[in-house]
């Protein structure tokens, strides 16, 4: 009975995971201990050949503002038809977050596994963070703008390391809507 209840709790947690966007965040700060717990959850993601390719950089305070300005300027510099609202959003969103975690992937120098497997492992680490945030009542959102290819101009990256996006975190006073999915039976073929 207890094992069955535990399984239901995990499934409910997965079902309740949502994207909570920076515009929904209040100004409540996120404690360093909570961020450390979220990162510890990431560290337990599956990893083929134990390459553990996930790398993170935590931005809080002034570094968030600097990120927003950097992204906005890169956008204006690289988009042939920049839109003012998008440039403003790139500046404002980082300031709204309680913290931002830059999601990076370190390619195995021996290239012992295909690169997509390391990207997948990093994505699983992010899913672990997302589930941990859900359990802790922290809203979060994985943003993956094309501008991530310029992140080596913002912070030092190792050879073979790539930025895959930003994990925005923040508390929200808004009610998070229930998710919707089409039935799994529509997506599965059973083969004998």
17 is in an annotated binding site: yes
112 is in an annotated binding site: no
Give CA separation, 137 vs 31, 100, 133, 143, in Å.
13, 16, 6, 19
Mark residue 61 as left, alpha or beta (left: phi above 0; alpha: psi -120 to 50; beta: remaining).
left
Phi, psi of 22 (to 5 degrees): -55, -35
48 is in an annotated binding site: yes
143 is in an annotated binding site: yes
172 is in an annotated binding site: no
55 is in an annotated binding site: no
181 is in an annotated binding site: no
Tokens of 188: 């599965």
Query: In b/e form, how buried is each residue of 92-113, taking b as 16+ CB within 10 angstroms?
Result: ebbbbbbbbbbbbbbbbeeeeb
Question: Which residues are known binding-site members?
Answer: 17-19, 48, 142-144
Question: Which residues are known binding-site members for FMN?
Answer: 17-19, 48, 142-144
């Amino acid at each position: 009975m207890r094992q069955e209840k535990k399984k239901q709790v995990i499934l409910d947690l997965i079902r309740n995971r949502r994207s909570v966007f920076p515009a929904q965040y209040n100004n409540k700060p996120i404690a360093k201990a909570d961020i450390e717990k979220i990162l510890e959850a990431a560290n337990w993601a599956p990893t083929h050949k134990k390459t553990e390719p996930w790398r993170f950089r935590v931005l809080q305070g002034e570094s968030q503002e600097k990120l927003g300005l950097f992204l906005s300027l890169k956008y204006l510099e690289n988009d042939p038809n920049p839109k003012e609202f998008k440039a403003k959003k790139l500046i404002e969103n980082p300031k709204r977050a309680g913290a931002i975690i830059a999601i990076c992937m370190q390619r195995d120098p021996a290239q012992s596994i295909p690169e997509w497997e390391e990207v997948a492992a990093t994505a699983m680490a992010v899913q672990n963070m997302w589930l941990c945030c859900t359990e802790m009542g922290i809203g979060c959102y994985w943003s993956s703008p094309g501008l991530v290819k310029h992140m080596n101009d913002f912070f030092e990256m190792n050879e073979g390391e790539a930025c895959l996006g930003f994990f925005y975190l923040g508390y929200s006073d808004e009610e998070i809507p229930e998710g919707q999915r089409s039935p799994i039976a529509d997506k599965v073929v059973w083969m004998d």
